[in-house]
Amino acid sequence: MKKLTLIPLLLLFVSVMSANDALKLKGDSLYTAGDFAGAIAQYDSIVQSGLESADLYYNLGNAFYKTGDLPNAILHYEKALKLKPTHNDAQYNLELTQQYITDKIEVVDVFFLKKWATGIRHMFTSDEWGMISIAAFAVFMVLLLAFTFSGSGLIKRISFFVGIVFFSISAVGFWSSGRSKSEQVDTVEAIIFSPSVTVKGAPNTSGTDLFILHEGTKVEVIDGVSDWKRIKLQDGNVGWLRA
């Protein structure tokens, strides 16, 4: 009986995908025609259905940019880059949009090895790193069998050293996949939408005023108390904001 449920489930999946494809095509058409608010409504309805992709968020970012809604544009470019760090168009448009916001936050320099490792990790998505890890481990297992059962000393030496390489690739892929997924799920970042907000030194209205931030600025949420959030900027400054 369980097998019989596959057909209606498959039909439901196909119908949902077809409906979302139609919505995207309509959104693309409205965007081309200059109806950016209409395009936003079509793209957003796809997101509300539970589906997401880097290109979809990129399209939303472009549509919001065209309407002059810079915070929403930045938000959706950032969402696109969360799913696909190598989305060059989203990165370019994000940097372009950030030129028009008030706050210019200087990014704190990181140790070059960490920067190098991050660059390698962002070469592929979490799923792509997972596939690389599995494929490399499969090659490693084949080489391990060759090393174990081959009677040739040359084949043993080759399979041993090449096996180490592929095992290392598998380990790097496994770590990168997990780290990338953690960045997507665990790291809480936010975009400020209020025209201006005062960051406090404590989670209450009587706290010391530290500095002012403006709409479009990205922050990292590192803690929370009641309806207050402790935020951190890319330059290392921290403070408290109302959620």
The predicted-structure confidence for 94-121, as pLDDT tens digits, reads as follows: 999 999 999 988 877 666 777 777 778 7
Pairing mode, strands 196-200 and 189-191:
unpaired
Report residue 50 as tokens. 């539970």
Candidates 97, 95, 38; CA nearest to 69 is 97
Block residue for tokens 């479009």: 216
pTM for the full predicted model: 0.73
Residue 1: other Cβ atoms inside 10 A: 4
The predicted-structure confidence for 140-166, as pLDDT tens digits, reads as follows: 999 999 999 888 889 899 999 999 999
The predicted-structure confidence for 43-101, as pLDDT tens digits, reads as follows: 999 999 888 889 999 999 999 999 999 999 999 999 999 888 889 999 999 999 999 99
Residue 61: other Cβ atoms inside 10 A: 27
DSSP state for residue 150 in the 8-state scheme: -
Report residue 226 as tokens. 């009641």
Average pLDDT (165-183) is 89
Residue 217: other Cβ atoms inside 10 A: 22
Q: Which residues, including other chains, have CB under 8 Å from residue 62's CB and lie 6 or more apart?
A: 31, 73, 93
Residue 3 φ/ψ, nearest 5 degrees: -65, -30
Report residue 54 as tokens. 């880097």
Query: What order of strands is seen across the sheet that includes strand 196-200?
Result: 189-191, 218-225, 228-232, 238-242, 196-200, 209-214
Residue 199 φ/ψ, nearest 5 degrees: -85, 130
Residue 138: which pLDDT band, with cuts at 50, 70 and 90? very high
